[in-house]
Structure 1
Amino acid sequence: MNKFKKLKRYTLFFAIGSLYLLTSFLLRIVFLTWNFHEAQTDVISVIKSLVIGTFFDLGTLSYFLILWSFYLFFFPSKWTGNIVDKTVQTTYFIIVSVIFYFSFFAEITFWEEFQRRFNFIAVDYLIYTYEVIQNINESYPLPFLISGIIGLELLTVWFLKRKRIFKLTFKSNASRTTKAFILGVNLVLVIGFGLFVNNESAEWSNNRYNNEISKTGIYSFFAAFRNNNLKYKEFYLSFSDKKAFKIVQDELNISSINKTATSPISRTITNTQQEITPNIILICIESLSADFMKAYGNEKKLTPFLDSLRTQSISFENLNSTGTRTVRGMEALSLSIPPTPGRSIVKRENNEHLFTVGEVFKNKGYENTFFYGGDGYFDNMNHFFSNNGFNIVDRGRKLLNIDDILTKRTLIEDEEVNFENAWGVSDEDLYDKVLKVTDALPKNQPFFHFIMTTSNHRPYTYPEGKIDIPSGTNRNGAVKYTDFAIKQFLKKASKKEWYKNTVFVIVADHCASSAGKWELNINNYHIPAFIYNFPNKKPFQVKKLSSQIDLLPSLFGLMNWSYESNFYGQNVFEKNYQPRAFIGNYRKLGLLKDDHLIILNDHKSFNNYQYVASNHQLYKKDTDSLLLNLAIANYQTADWLFRNQGLTIKTKDEKN
């Protein structure tokens, strides 16, 4: 009883700790129930997930309580309960408890979208508050959520007052020994977690859902913030750069090395046949998984036009995205490079004047333009494309400044918009702007358009009356509207003079979901891609395994182009092409070849799997050292090239 009295001064302190541990436990139960059939739910696995999760909760809680511990240790006992004491502790309690309740609801909405704890996506979203807040407001009953947080906060304060928690805190004192003990325990937890525990320590299972349930959202958020820019050699298996580049050079069939080039993979692609230079319109579709299409098993008739277009095109049947975010798709399509660890190159510093597909087009006399239905400030799109040879057309909400004029930025004006949501204008409005800009180009000017759509994105809203699924219902409606909008675009384009000499490349940026029980789920990287209206080519299917980074080099091959290349992507139509695909997220880096998947992890380890496509399952497999070395070499050299300006275009003076 006397020991309890010594702790009364810490009653509010322990109350906030209990609140956090309780809400975190409930959240784990919610996630476990939500994905009960995907997670390992035997008794041992469930207990282990909950115990490890509680361990991370204690570590997270220690960071929130460390300042409070110092306050209670140093605050003079004679001033206990005065106005300063009441103000400081009550304010701290309210701020921290609001953060806990906000995190509770935010994690539920984040899990619904990504089936994960907070990760680098949540970190990135902090930067783009307008789009994110608007998206939340349009997707969820935001006033209800805010009211819920306020209501829970008031209920908590009422409950604690009824239990005399505040009174006990401000009427009691603790001994110096008690204060020192609590501060000491808190310090041990903070230092221990800071030095010896990382977020990957929670990844004890082969089942990704159990790993995610074992984590703590707030802790995962700050871990992602810290690891947004990972240096390959510090975190992944590696060997000498010379050996790594030799492996990649052999893979790319580079026999002679250009010693004056900044990149060891720089080479000349030579074609002996007559070049053709049609206009190219690349449509990068938001979140269009292959399994939305009938050709890949969907029976809901969501993409009737794309299904028909596929049969009239050069269709890539087994092509995989490199990542799970739009900027990864842009990186793969524009830079033709495997995904480097951490954030995409599109979002990194020093990503200007890189060797992109735009440089190849420019050297052939093309005018390059990037079209985006939202504000291109989001995800650093405008900066990346404008500093790598593209004009910009977007739905910017800011007045044009001198930088916009110098980079040829054009806005989608209010009078050109019939519908928009948090992410941008409807696909139809975007395509109409593309037609308008294209019509204004000089008659004989070849062009390359890179179009990024937005309609197939939560909140899944689009103009009413276009399709038979009401706006805002679900993703199926957004997919069907996406299909409808492309049909209308090609119908209008077919009436234009430039249409006959225009090739349309249609591809997704990534799949609609990356959720699954494996660390990388191969079936969630399969995306549709096809080349339509290519001159003098009958439709055919490319069934070889291929990567998103191969799409543009393959197009260049079809057009018989000779050009300087710094790409990892290859022409799949070449006889010596070796089928493989790079897949990853911001930490896991995978190489798929035949039925063998190598996954490199950011704690200098790897996993080997055999992939069985019939049931989308992975099974542990003996190590293939050649494939492991190939995976290491590609990812290591890609990271090296970016960090050492190996992707940067040399000026004429530099070349000389």
Structure 2
Amino acid sequence: MVIYKKLSPFYNLALFYFIVSFLLRIVLFFHPITQSSFSILESLKIFSLGLISDFFVFIIASVFLWLYLIFISNSKYNKPSGYIILGFLAALFIYVASGKSILDEYGGALPRIVLIFIGIKMALFSLLLFLPTLRDEIRYWLFAFVMFLYVLLILQNGLSEYFFWNEFGVKYNFIAVNYLIYTNEVIGNIMQSYPVIPIFSGLFLVTGIVTYFILKGSKKYIDEIPTFNEKIKISGIYIVLFLISLVAIPAFAKTENSKNVFVNELQANGLYKFYLAFQNNKLDYFKFYKTLPSEKAYSLLKQQFPAISGENTHRIISSDSLENHKNVVLITIESYSAEFMKMYGNKQNITPFLDSLAQKSVQFTNLYAAGNRTVRGLEAVTLCLPPTAGESVVKREDNKNKFSTGSIFKDKGYNVKFMYGGDAFFDNMQDFYSGNGYEIIDKSSFTPEEITFSNVWGVCDEDMYNKAIKVMNTEAKENKPFFNHIMTVSNHRPFTYPNNKIDIPGDIKSRDGGVKYTDYALRKFFAMASKQPWFKNTMFVIVADHCASSAGKTQLPLDKYRIPAFIYNTDLKPTKYNQLMSQIDLMPTLFGLLHFSYESKFFGQDVLKPDYKPRAFIATYQDLGLIKDNILTILSPKQQVRQFQLNLETKEGVAPEYQIDYNEKCMKTERTDLVNETISFYQTASDMLKKKKYQK
């Protein structure tokens, strides 16, 4: 048989993919939201270069089809190879089913998914091994299923691109990536917004019909399975095209350079745009959110910072007291909600040490996390600016040489370090902190003797604190103050930690256990630190990175953003600060307590100053919120603005300053001043990052 006939599964699917992509471009070309006219040259560019891009993207996307096809054979079912392969699959199944595999360290549904996959693979292999007379028929239906799945995915992607364009007028961007993260909300929205049953019924019907015709033209591949030499030729052709595609796809993406945005979007391949969304991690505020004229936005910002001038936040912070260069240890605690603490109403006594330490500290009882992921918390305490749309600055390409808390300390002669018990490459922390002048201490810095317990996230908090004490003892001998930012890891799924430390065993994997062990490790850290000569000369700043959960009944549920925060030093008088504040205000407030004078670009403010105006920022990847005057204002893509009146729902037995539950009632009458103020904050922060005005 001629070799091209052996490639029939590829080119039949490719032809179908090109037809779907072409029809999709036609539909989007004439869609009402595509408010543009195109010249003949622009039209040719859209359809010709778009088709070429589709070809190369299909090559990459068909890698799983290639792997499936080249492993189709009869020889692997011969004795003894067939029994060896089946034995290996059975052993792998038992290993994963034991509950002690490496997959169980990740928790969640991953072990179950892998177990199901291996189980199905083992069952199908057994059928093909022990029922040789039915092997051809079983293989045909497996082949049909694979082709059905590819056809379904092609059609599903076409529909998704259409609905996404219908919403936003662009191909996939970071909002599409975000949709994968907030699966429950997205599925609920789809169920309520579209006639799902008719759509999917039609989708499966069309998929079945198309698969039938593709099978007719492709089944010769399994009727006459290619020889080993033919598979080598097929693989050679595919690998060459695959490598060319890796170069060609980004090259053709660079031709999307028209001044007409719709030309670029229609020419682009949606799947590649989706991939780029993962890489770029940001939403263009000015394209998707409500804006003000730049002059007005900065004019409103000046009302918050009277000392600024022009389109920036640069100002001089002056103190009338002598600067106090105490050491500073900032501890950001993983997933630590206010509701875990006794003062906020928790009755389980899972944070006894932090409950007691808070009473000896400067407490900030009404503080809100900027976001719902670790990188947002790190961004908030490091850069002290509102959470801009899309991914955190920590994970963006342009994340270096920013104006940061670390740069302030460096200017004051401090040693500056970021300490993390896991691999700092995770979430781009290594790139971000090293790019902003921090020295990194992470798991790779530990000797084997320094690690008593670790899981997938890194060493346990006790090991991290033991290491931190060693590092700080060394630093204290250098006659320079130190600033060390420690990020904890133990209060994270799978919630495993050393046994026999607390009354909740570490192998139970419970959230309460993770919280209680985190508290226990902090108590041990403070017990060790209190014996060191540098202890009394050190300010300890303790704050959560974000809450344990962000899901709620509303877009931005306030109770899911309330976090504990306090500053401890033996010389500080224990007090409570009960005014509304943001996570981005914590470090500027610390600088005030140290009487630092410095040039600032921070959006965060010293909340202890008399001119501070209470407000807080909370956000997801796409919803940007401002809390002020008991009103929550939310900016969303498509220039949407919503406002909610916040009504406190009092919890019995909890002091007023620790109440965290609010009913969010949608407002019918807009508070325009708060809308403009919200826009001002987020627009100017986005503008400064985009124009590189937030550099050191």
TM-score (norm 1): 0.69
Equivalent residue number for residue 432 of structure 1: 466
Instruction: Give the SS at the match of 1:371.
Output: strand
Pick one of 455, 459, 472 that aligns with 2:507.
472
Q: Is the aligned partner of 1:192 residue 2:148?
A: no
CA deviation profile, 1:304-338 (whole Å, cap 9, x unmatched): 00000000000000000000111101100010000
After TM superposition, the structure 1 = structure 2 runs for residues 43-58 of structure 1, keeping only pairs within 5 Å, are none
Equivalent residue number for residue 242 of structure 1: 295
CA, structure 1 residues 155+224, in 2 after alignment: closer, same or farther (shift >3 Å)?
A: farther
* Native 8 Å contact 1:460 1:471 kept in 2: yes
* Native 8 Å contact 1:209 1:517 kept in 2: no
Instruction: Give the SS at the match of 1:299.
Output: coil
CA, structure 1 residues 135+230, in 2 after alignment: closer, same or farther (shift >3 Å)?
A: farther
Equivalent residue number for residue 347 of structure 1: 395
Report sequence identity in percent: 42
CA, structure 1 residues 481+302, in 2 after alignment: closer, same or farther (shift >3 Å)?
A: same
**Residue identity in the other structure for 1:641:** M
Q: Is the aligned partner of 1:626 residue 2:673?
A: yes
CA, structure 1 residues 355+164, in 2 after alignment: closer, same or farther (shift >3 Å)?
A: same
Q: Which has the larger radius of gyration?
A: 2
CA distance in 2, matches of 1:443, 1:421: 34
CA, structure 1 residues 169+144, in 2 after alignment: closer, same or farther (shift >3 Å)?
A: closer
Q: Is the aligned partner of 1:549 residue 2:584?
A: yes
* Native 8 Å contact 1:361 1:448 kept in 2: yes
* Native 8 Å contact 1:427 1:455 kept in 2: yes
Instruction: Give the SS at the match of 2:388.
Output: coil
CA, structure 1 residues 208+572, in 2 after alignment: closer, same or farther (shift >3 Å)?
A: farther
CA distance in 2, matches of 1:135, 1:360: 42
**Residue identity in the other structure for 1:425:** V
Superposed displacement of residue 203, structure 1: 12
* Native 8 Å contact 1:470 1:477 kept in 2: yes
Superposed displacement of residue 223, structure 1: 10
Equivalent residue number for residue 371 of structure 1: 419
CA distance in 2, matches of 1:540, 1:388: 33
**Residue identity in the other structure for 1:471:** G
Q: Is the aligned partner of 1:635 residue 2:688?
A: no
CA distance in 1, matches of 2:112, 2:178: 34
Instruction: Give the SS at the match of 1:440.
Output: helix
Pick one of 380, 388, 403 that aligns with 2:428.
380
Q: Which runs of 5+ in 1 are unaligned?
A: 1-8, 14-65, 72-83, 92-132, 172-180, 397-410, 650-656
CA, structure 1 residues 251+440, in 2 after alignment: closer, same or farther (shift >3 Å)?
A: same
Instruction: Give the SS at the match of 1:448.
Output: strand
Pick one of 607, 623, 635 that aligns with 1:600.
635
Superposed displacement of residue 575, structure 1: 1.0
- The count of residues paired between Structure 1 and Structure 2 equals 498
* Native 8 Å contact 2:105 2:455 kept in 1: no
CA deviation profile, 1:14-65 (whole Å, cap 9, x unmatched): xxxxxxxxxxxxxxxxxxxxxxxxxxxxxxxxxxxxxxxxxxxxxxxxxxxx
CA, structure 1 residues 134+280, in 2 after alignment: closer, same or farther (shift >3 Å)?
A: farther
* Native 8 Å contact 1:208 1:519 kept in 2: no
Superposed displacement of residue 562, structure 1: 1.1
* Native 8 Å contact 1:331 1:344 kept in 2: yes
Pick one of 547, 560, 568 that aligns with 1:524.
560
Superposed displacement of residue 231, structure 1: 1.1
Instruction: Give the SS at the match of 1:418.
Output: coil
Moved more, 567-576 or 387-396: 387-396
Equivalent residue number for residue 283 of structure 2: 230
CA distance in 2, matches of 1:439, 1:169: 64
CA distance in 1, matches of 2:155, 2:473: 70
Superposed displacement of residue 149, structure 1: 1.9
Pick one of 447, 452, 456 that aligns with 2:491.
456
Superposed displacement of residue 274, structure 1: 2.4
Superposed displacement of residue 151, structure 1: 3.0
CA distance in 2, matches of 1:187, 1:375: 35
**Residue identity in the other structure for 1:440:** T
Q: Is the aligned partner of 1:278 residue 2:313?
A: no
Superposed displacement of residue 185, structure 1: 8.1
CA distance in 1, matches of 2:611, 2:183: 37
* Native 8 Å contact 2:536 2:570 kept in 1: no
CA distance in 1, matches of 2:453, 2:176: 46
CA deviation profile, 1:118-170 (whole Å, cap 9, x unmatched): xxxxxxxxxxxxxxx967545258665323123346778979x8997976999
CA distance in 2, matches of 1:434, 1:183: 50
* Native 8 Å contact 1:135 1:422 kept in 2: no
* Native 8 Å contact 1:202 1:214 kept in 2: no
CA deviation profile, 1:533-585 (whole Å, cap 9, x unmatched): 152x3101010000000001111111222110000001111111111100001
CA, structure 1 residues 209+137, in 2 after alignment: closer, same or farther (shift >3 Å)?
A: closer
* Native 8 Å contact 1:294 1:307 kept in 2: yes
Q: Is the aligned partner of 1:590 residue 2:625?
A: yes
TM-score (norm 2): 0.65
Instruction: Give the SS at the match of 1:248.
Output: helix
Instruction: Give the SS at the match of 1:569.
Output: coil
Equivalent residue number for residue 188 of structure 2: 213
Equivalent residue number for residue 123 of structure 1: none
* Native 8 Å contact 1:208 1:517 kept in 2: no
Equivalent residue number for residue 23 of structure 1: none
CA distance in 2, matches of 1:184, 1:553: 51
**Residue identity in the other structure for 2:522:** I
CA distance in 2, matches of 1:323, 1:300: 26
CA distance in 1, matches of 2:672, 2:412: 41
Pick one of 636, 642, 648 that aligns with 1:613.
648
Equivalent residue number for residue 414 of structure 1: 448
CA distance in 2, matches of 1:134, 1:557: 47
Q: Is the aligned partner of 1:252 residue 2:334?
A: no
After TM superposition, the structure 1 = structure 2 runs for residues 32-181 of structure 1, keeping only pairs within 5 Å, are 87=69, 136-139=104-107, 144-152=112-120
CA, structure 1 residues 460+168, in 2 after alignment: closer, same or farther (shift >3 Å)?
A: closer
Moved more, 569-578 or 609-618: 609-618
* Native 8 Å contact 2:333 2:542 kept in 1: yes
* Native 8 Å contact 2:329 2:485 kept in 1: yes
CA deviation profile, 1:371-402 (whole Å, cap 9, x unmatched): 01011111111111112121111112xxxxxx
Instruction: Give the SS at the match of 1:291.
Output: helix
Q: Is the aligned partner of 1:508 residue 2:519?
A: no
After TM superposition, the structure 1 = structure 2 runs for residues 480-495 of structure 1, keeping only pairs within 5 Å, are 480-495=516-531
CA distance in 2, matches of 1:291, 1:184: 45
Superposed displacement of residue 519, structure 1: 1.1
Equivalent residue number for residue 317 of structure 2: 269
Instruction: Give the SS at the match of 2:362.
Output: strand
CA distance in 1, matches of 2:535, 2:279: 48
CA, structure 1 residues 270+459, in 2 after alignment: closer, same or farther (shift >3 Å)?
A: same
Superposed displacement of residue 443, structure 1: 4.8
**Residue identity in the other structure for 1:244:** A
Q: Which runs of 5+ in 2 are unaligned?
A: 1-8, 14-53, 60-65, 74-100, 129-133, 145-150, 192-269, 650-660
CA, structure 1 residues 512+246, in 2 after alignment: closer, same or farther (shift >3 Å)?
A: same
CA distance in 2, matches of 1:429, 1:300: 26
Q: What is the root-mean-square deviation in Å for CA atoms of aligned residues?
A: 3.7
After TM superposition, the structure 1 = structure 2 runs for residues 282-301 of structure 1, keeping only pairs within 5 Å, are 282-301=330-349
